[in-house]
Amino acid sequence: MNAILPIRRPLTVILANPRGFCAGVDRAIQIVERAIQKYGAPVYVRHEIVHNHHVVARLRELGAVFVEELHECPDDRPVVFSAHGVPKSAPAEAERRNMFYLDATCPLVSKVHLDAERHHMAGREIVLIGHAGHPEVDGTLGQLPDGAIKLVETVGDVAFVQVSDPDKLAFVTQTTLSMDDTADIITALKARFPNIVGPHGRDICYATTNRQEAIKTLSPGCDLVLVVGSSTSSNSQRLVEVAMKAGAQDAKLIDDADMIQPAWFEGVSRLGLSAGASAPEVLVEGVLDWLAARFDLSISTEETARETVIFKLPRVLVEETAAQ
């Protein structure tokens, strides 16, 4: 007699789009891959190239060696600076030691660096909205002399900002912050310093903005939202926060399908699913496979934007590829 298979409970899954890799992350990963292809292993990378454990592990298998500071690198091997950006002291040290280096800093982070320098040259003190200790923040602080940039993390911090001249003040922001939280901080800064100067356009990157808008749209009515991304990823953490503020009953950050706990799905009939800008799509597919093995899935996509941005690779890597 054939065994009667249990009837799987239905589950509606709404996929956020855009999700996953952004142009800056894709460019940074390609830089490491092509550097290993061209120069052989090992290729050293200062800090994790992007904040995703799976990406870092795969690149390590290919021959990347991840370090925190340049003193851990030999002089005769290539070094790649991560997508988060580095203080000016890093390329200066590399040049002093005659090291060959490739800069994988996201062009949108580089824009923040240039804005900070422009304001500094104009005689303005600078407020940086960001999270202390994040490598992008450390890189931005390191673009200018000590004390030239003041870090603000919360609306409450604004009241304690001390400046020499409130009429010569500007602000820049970390690119991976929550849009809504950052807007509140900017409002507080403008209330206290009416003549503060902001960036041309906005500093929070298009990919962060798009992913937050997508998850904000799908979260109302969701019993649970899963965000695929590593705990070290600022933009992934922000997606969880945005989902909760937008109306999701619960939201969780997971590295991959292995982190999912069946108990989370008690009473869940509508699930939202997204991924941070440094999370590869294969991890999202793994989550869908996990769900399909346990539920009768109905999958739809909530698309709020289409991304066509591509950032150019360093010329030395492109020319080598063309010659092969």
As annotated, the active-site residues are 136
- Gap between the Cα atoms of 202 and 172, Å rounded: 9
Q: How far from each other are the two terminal CA atoms of the chain, in whole angstroms?
A: 61
Q: Are strands 43-46 and 64-67 parallel, antiparallel or unpaired?
A: parallel
Residues 6+ apart with CB under 8 A from 58: none
Handedness of CA 308, 313, 315, 318 (dihedral sign): negative
Residue 133 burial (10 A CB sphere; 0-12, 13-18, 19+): exposed
- Gap between the Cα atoms of 280 and 246, Å rounded: 25
The dihedral over CA atoms of 240, 241, 247, 252, expressed in degrees to the nearest 10, equals: 30
Token digits of residue 127 = 């407020």
- Gap between the Cα atoms of 76 and 97, Å rounded: 9
Token digits of residue 174 = 């970390």
Token digits of residue 314 = 């360093």
Handedness of CA 155, 156, 159, 165 (dihedral sign): negative
Alpha helices in 247-313 (DSSP H): 281-292
